Copies of this chain bind each other. A is one copy, B any other.
Amino acid sequence: MNGATTSGQLRAHNRVRLLRAVHDCGATRTRSQLTRDLGLARGTASVLVAGLAEDDLLHEEPAPEHARGRPTQVPGPHPRGPVALAVDVREDAWELAACELGGRVTVLGVQPHDGTPEGTLGPLGEAVAEQVRRLGHRAVGVGVALAGPISHGGRVDIAHLGWRAVDVPALLGEPGPPLFVGNDTALAALAEARRGRLRGVRVGVHLHVDFDLGGVLVLDGHAVAGASGTGAEFGHMAIGGGERRCPCGAVGCWGMDVGANALLRHVGLAYGGGRGREQAERVLATSEEAVNATARALGRGIAALVNAHDPEVVTLSGHGVELRERAGEALLAACEPGLMAIRRDHPPRIEGSALGWRGALLGAMESVFDAFLTTEGLELWRKNHPDQARDTPDRQSVTHSTLDGESAQ
């Protein structure tokens, strides 16, 4: 991926490393800490920070606490710096947010939709376009999380909503900045890998329980995407041995026994079509038996994945957090007999996500910054940049003030 070969690329490479380090730590580490972390000389760090500040990429503020010596600074997002737009499109509503370098998220709006491709992506496209106009060159990318497999061209299938090869970029109207469409499970896994329980984990498995079940392998901070971008579908493996036909077209998929649809089916309610989130939550809250049955199905499948992939940690998001809390014992009891003997000595931890339902949105942000925090991304920023810093004295950033809203993480 990276790896400089000329001295010019070397500088670019170190700019990326520094910016990436600032982003990954959430803009909490001081300059002297970063210098040590990256193994740089103080002089080099000085030049790098100055250059990045010049390019409106970084802004230093005094560190809040002091130790003995000369006080150090904390590099963080620049007030005129890059912004990632992130969208989480759920079955019933979408959420749009603006994200600074370092990961601060400002939710710009939540809007229900009718579930049709046009009714969903049309208004979303307008909302995104408005933000892009407002932010100008500062919008460095738009990340969209969707609850279905996504081919590299941006075509999405959401079986239970009846979406079939829906062309997301076309319906969204080509926002201008690069568009990154991703599967919600893969993006939740990405967020977990960067800011959750899979941080620093070399091999992990992330499972996202929503209406159905998604899952993906996480290696060294990256979710494994698949050749055409439609990986992250662990839920569609024939584990469990049923003969029921899955809406996906296959038979006996594991995901049919785990998730909101399975909960509804278990208690005899209507299910499918992306409806029934409230009922499912009620079942989850009331029916001990349905919860345990789901947890057992989840545990059996986890055993198969643990055998196959030997992860260090298995994380659960969406309803999985509650399943882990409420029926952890049933889950582990169902998992254990499915494990190979050699896995039983040191079984992986099975943990609820630290990010809850926020993962997909945060992952959409990370996918944008993953593309931006590269030598190419930064080169493009430099090129598109109006370069106010040198010409005009210090034009107050009109745009930034409007970014203040509900703030999280």
> Assuming A5-B38, A203-B227, A227-B311, is B236 touching A239 (CB within 8 A)?
no
> Assuming A149-B342, A249-B341, is B310 touching A230 (CB within 8 A)?
yes
Q: Is the CB of B4 within 8 A of A338?
A: no
In this assembly, does A21 line the interface, its C-beta being within 8 Å of a C-beta of chain B? no
Q: Is the CB of A303 within 8 A of B238?
A: yes
Q: Is the CB of B224 within 8 A of A338?
A: no
Please indicate the chain B residues that have their CB under 8 angstroms from the CB of A392 in the complex.
none
Please indicate the chain B residues that have their CB under 8 angstroms from the CB of A308 in the complex.
215, 231, 233-234, 236-237
In this assembly, does A28 line the interface, its C-beta being within 8 Å of a C-beta of chain B? no
In this assembly, does A93 line the interface, its C-beta being within 8 Å of a C-beta of chain B? no
In this assembly, does A257 line the interface, its C-beta being within 8 Å of a C-beta of chain B? no
Q: Is the CB of A342 within 8 A of B224?
A: no
In this assembly, does A350 line the interface, its C-beta being within 8 Å of a C-beta of chain B? no
Q: Is the CB of B337 within 8 A of A5?
A: no
Closest-CB distance, A226 to chain B (whole angstroms): 3
The docked-state distance in angstroms from the alpha carbon of A5 to that of B20 is: 14
> Assuming A5-B39, A303-B250, is B228 touching A346 (CB within 8 A)?
yes
The docked-state distance in angstroms from the alpha carbon of A303 to that of B309 is: 17
Q: A227-B311, A230-B310 are in contact. List 16 more A-B contacts (CB 8 A).
A: A4-B10, A5-B14, A5-B39, A6-B10, A149-B342, A157-B341, A227-B348, A231-B310, A233-B308, A233-B310, A233-B340, A237-B304, A238-B304, A248-B342, A249-B344, A251-B337
Q: Is the CB of B5 within 8 A of A249?
A: no
Copy total for this chain: 2
Q: Is the CB of A157 within 8 A of B10?
A: no
Q: Is the CB of B5 within 8 A of A17?
A: yes
The docked-state distance in angstroms from the alpha carbon of A248 to that of B304 is: 12
Closest-CB distance, A250 to chain B (whole angstroms): 5
Please indicate the chain B residues that have their CB under 8 angstroms from the CB of A38 in the complex.
5
The docked-state distance in angstroms from the alpha carbon of A312 to that of B151 is: 13
Which residues of chain A in 302-337 are interfacial with respect to chain B, using CB atoms and an 8 Å cutoff?
303-305, 307-312, 337
The docked-state distance in angstroms from the alpha carbon of A327 to that of B4 is: 48
Please indicate the chain B residues that have their CB under 8 angstroms from the CB of A17 in the complex.
3, 5
In this assembly, does A13 line the interface, its C-beta being within 8 Å of a C-beta of chain B? yes
